[in-house]
Amino acid sequence: MLRIRRFEERCAELYSATKIRGFVHLCIGEEAVAVGVHKALADDDAVVSTYREHGHALAKGITMDAVMAEMYGKATGCSHGRGGSMHLFDRDARFYGGNAIVGGGLPLAVGLALADTRLGRRQVTACFFGDGAVAEGEFHESLNLAALWRLPVLFCCENNQYAMGTPLRREHANTDLGARAVGYGMRSMEVDGMDVLAVEAAAHEAVAHIGRHREPVFLELRTYRFRAHSMYDPDRYRDKTEIESWKRRDPIPALAASLRATADLSDSDMDKMESEVTAEIDGAVAAAEAAPVEPESELTRHVYTERA
Ligand SMILES: Cc1ncc(C[n+]2csc(CCOP(=O)(O)OP(=O)(O)O)c2C)c(N)n1
């Protein structure tokens, strides 16, 4: 969680310094969701994400060098510098985006799970999306097909209470998001998305259920983004006291405090982690700065699959 938090804080600084261009959506405050769910996944499970995906990509094991270079639009980035912040991708890691279209990742996840099933593979596909996606048609089509065809998809709804500037009660006639999944005959679980251990336990249970019953599960992860929707957003729609009250539930100090109480974590452990993370980020920034951009001659590559 610390690695994701510090990485994104540096990205915000780099964005303000115009080193990073385009749209940047930070998941600061939501790290427990990314880390807790990934703890329950195997390396060869697939992940599909949204434009708020830096945390998912790092948790999935894409190197910080490859993610930072992508933020810079450099050739060494995980999408060859063509995607930027919103379109991180790594086929070998089975990380299938980084999708800018709200709800767009859901049918992809269903397709990946269908492919795994048809190929006789036992992997799970975890699909992250926001509360805003639950109002999209793609959400309903995807959940229906996943339930009907009994596909191994872990639907992870990051309910951070807002779709851009629109609060939950103004985007959903029924704010019980899990009820939609139950309506498709799917098991639904509600989780405190600010508690990494609760997320990990729920995700483990959900993955075990998928493995045992060969059917999808819906996880609603109640969380909050501490920053604006994107780096462009002036964030005028949220009450400052609401933001402060969620910050008091920050998942990183909460976990640190409980580990300190059991003497599993000391100040020097924490300092060591901070300096390791800083060194990793410094290295990634230096490598991204020094990396080349894609040459013009490569412009038409990667539009279609290349023959081996
Ligand atoms: C199909 C579609 N409609 C509208 C948008 C513009 N848009 C970008 S983000 C966003 C809000 C989505 O909120 P949510 O799904 O809750 O995710 P969060 O940003 O809170 O993580 C909207 C409406 C879009 N990208 N795609």
Question: What digits encode the pLDDT tens for the residues 58-116?
Answer: 999 999 999 999 999 999 999 999 999 999 999 999 999 999 999 999 999 999 999 99
Quickly state the pLDDT bin for 307 (edges 50, 70, 90): confident
φ/ψ (deg, to 5) at 63? -70, 155
What backbone torsions phi and psi does residue 95 show, to the nearest 5 degrees? -110, 105
> Is pLDDT at 308 greater than 80 in this prediction?
no
Q: For all residues of the chain together, what is the average pLDDT?
A: 97
**Cα distance between residue 242 and residue 21, in whole Å:** 30
Alpha carbons 29 and 5: distance in angstroms, whole number: 8
**pLDDT > 80? residue 46:** yes
The secondary structure of 241-305, three-state, reads HHHHHHHCCCHHHHHHHHHHHCCCCCHHHHHHHHHHHHHHHHHHHHHHHHCCCCCHHHCCCCCCC
Q: At residue 17, does pLDDT exceed 80?
A: yes
> Could you give the 3-state DSSP secondary structure of residue 188?
strand
How far is ligand 1, taken at its centre, from the CA of residue 16, in Å?
A: 23
Q: How far is CA 19 from CA 10, 24, 288, 292, in A?
A: 11, 12, 10, 14
The region, left, alpha or beta by phi > 0 then psi within -120 to 50, assigned to residue 263 is left
pLDDT at 305: 85
Between the CA of 157 and the centroid of ligand 1 the distance, in Å, is 13
Ligand 1, atom nearest to 164 Cα? 11
pLDDT in tens, 179-188: 999 999 999 9
pLDDT level of residue 303 (50, 70, 90 thresholds): confident
> Which residue owns the Cα nearest ligand 1 atom 8?
102
CA 247, 251, 252, 255 torsion-angle sign: positive
What is the reported pTM? Answer: 0.97
For ligand 1, residues with CB inside 6 Å are: 52, 100-102, 130-133, 158, 160, 162-164, 229
pLDDT, residue 183, reads 98
Cα–ligand 1 centroid distance for 278 (angstroms): 31
Per-residue pLDDT tens for 223-255?
A: 999 999 999 899 999 999 999 999 999 999 999
Q: What is the mean pLDDT of residues 28-52?
A: 98
CA of 222 to the centre of ligand 1 (A): 17
Q: How far, in Å, CA of 154 to CA of 49, rounded?
A: 12
Main-chain dihedrals φ then ψ at residue 185, nearest 5 degrees: 80, 25
Atom 18 of ligand 1: nearest residue by CA position: 130
| Closest CA to ligand 1's atom 13 | 163
Residue 30 CA, closest ligand 1 atom number: 21
| Total residues belonging to the chain | 308
Mutate which of 31, 48, 129, 164 for ligand 1? The one with the most ligand atoms within 8 Å of its CB, which is: 164
Residue nearest to atom 11 of ligand 1 (CA): 163
Nearest to 288 by CA among 65, 61, 90: 65
pLDDT of residue 188: 98
The answer to whether residues 203 and 128 touch, using CB atoms and an 8 Å cutoff, is: no
Q: What is the mean pLDDT of residues 143-161?
A: 98
Mean pLDDT of 23-31: 98
> Which atom of ligand 1 is least distant from the CA of 133?
15
The two counts, helices (H) then strands (E), for the chain are 12, 7
Report d(CA 71, CA 66) in Å as an integer: 9
Q: What is the mean pLDDT of residues 132-138?
A: 97
CA–centroid distance for 216 within its chain: 19
| Arithmetic mean of pLDDT, 264-289 | 97
Nearest 10 degrees: Cα torsion 19, 20, 25, 27: -60
How many A from CA of 283 to the centre of ligand 1? 32
Instruction: Report the candidate in 83, 38, 84 with the shortest Cα–Cα distance to residue 60.
Output: 38
Distance CA 256, CA 245 (A): 19
| pLDDT recorded at residue 299 | 86
Closest ligand 1 atom, CA of 102? 26
- Give dist(CA 262, CA 194) in Å, integer: 20
